[in-house]
């Protein structure tokens, strides 16, 4: 595993990292990148090598400003992932290309964006992080927003689960191999909790 400092360095440079949650939780690895730095290339990498769902984690303030409301839920998801109604930026065409999704994601992280800049439903799935981040919920949603804050960026990170070539979820062993293959940093949500404690971070 790499350090949080190394991961933050790469994220600040616009690269993505792999973040694994606890093996007793989802036991999944997601690619994570900072939303305001997202380029179409990053999305293309995520959907080619990750193959999961591209979601953009935002803090509660962004969600409120952009009028992102939670999907109707019957609360049957054991992890209570906070999906809002999906969005596309109005400047996109079909919304699904890597270019269109990057446009939507950068707009979600743009402090000058407003509710009227987006169509709903769309092809990017915002998730609302809990206040307090990984101290309160140890999900990829909170990890992505906490990492964006540690980068000094708008509190929004974009994530995509990593699925193994055989269709099953990639586990730690596979994820470590992938990190080496593509020269990507790999960290855990638990490391982030510990780092925040040692840094007296409140985010």
Answer yes or no whether residue 55 interacts with ligand 5RP by CB under 6 A. Answer: yes
User: Nearer to ligand 5RP by C-beta: 49 or 200?
Assistant: 49
In angstroms, how far is the first alpha carbon of the chain from the final one? 23
What does 59 interact with, of Zn ion, ligand 5RP, none (CB < 5 to 8 A by kind)? none
Answer yes or no whether residue 59 interacts with ligand 5RP by CB under 6 A. Answer: no
Number of amino acids touching ligand 5RP (CB under 6 A): 15
Is 81 within 8 Å of 141 (Cβ atoms)? yes
Q: Which residue has the tokens 């993505």?
A: 16
Stretch 104-143: interaction string toward ligand 5RP, x if CB under 6 A: -----------------------x-----------xxx--
Please state, as a whole number, how many other Cβ atoms lie within 10 Å of the Cβ of residue 3.
12
Give the residue among 117, 130, 195, 124 at the shortest CA–CA distance from 159.
Answer: 124
Supply the minimum distance, in Å, between the C-beta of residue 26 and ligand 5RP: 5
DSSP code of residue 90: T
Distance, CA of 146 to CA of 152 (rounded, Å): 10
What does 53 interact with, of Zn ion, ligand 5RP, none (CB < 5 to 8 A by kind)? ligand 5RP
């Amino acid at each position: 595993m790499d350090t949080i400092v190394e991961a933050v360095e790469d994220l600040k440079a616009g690269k993505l990292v792999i973040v694994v949650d606890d093996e007793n939780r989802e036991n999944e690895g997601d690619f994570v990148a900072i939303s305001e730095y997202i380029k179409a290339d990053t999305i293309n990498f995520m959907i080619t090598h990750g193959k999961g769902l591209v979601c953009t984690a935002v803090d509660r303030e962004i969600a409120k400003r952009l009028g992102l409301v939670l999907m109707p839920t019957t609360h049957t998801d054991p992890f209570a992932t906070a999906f809002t109604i999906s969005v596309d930026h109005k400047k996109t065409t079909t919304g699904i290309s890597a270019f269109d999704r990057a446009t939507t994601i950068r707009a979600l992280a743009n402090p000058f964006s407003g509710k009227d800049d987006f169509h709903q439903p769309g092809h990017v799935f915002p998730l609302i992080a809990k206040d307090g981040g990984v101290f309160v919920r140890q999900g990829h949603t909170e990890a992505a927003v906490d990492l964006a804050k540690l980068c000094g960026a708008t509190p929004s990170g974009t994530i995509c689960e990593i699925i193994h070539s055989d269709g099953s979820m990639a586990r730690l062993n596979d994820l470590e191999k992938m990190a080496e293959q593509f020269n990507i940093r790999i960290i855990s949500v638990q490391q982030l909790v510990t780092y925040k404690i040692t840094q007296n971070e409140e985010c």
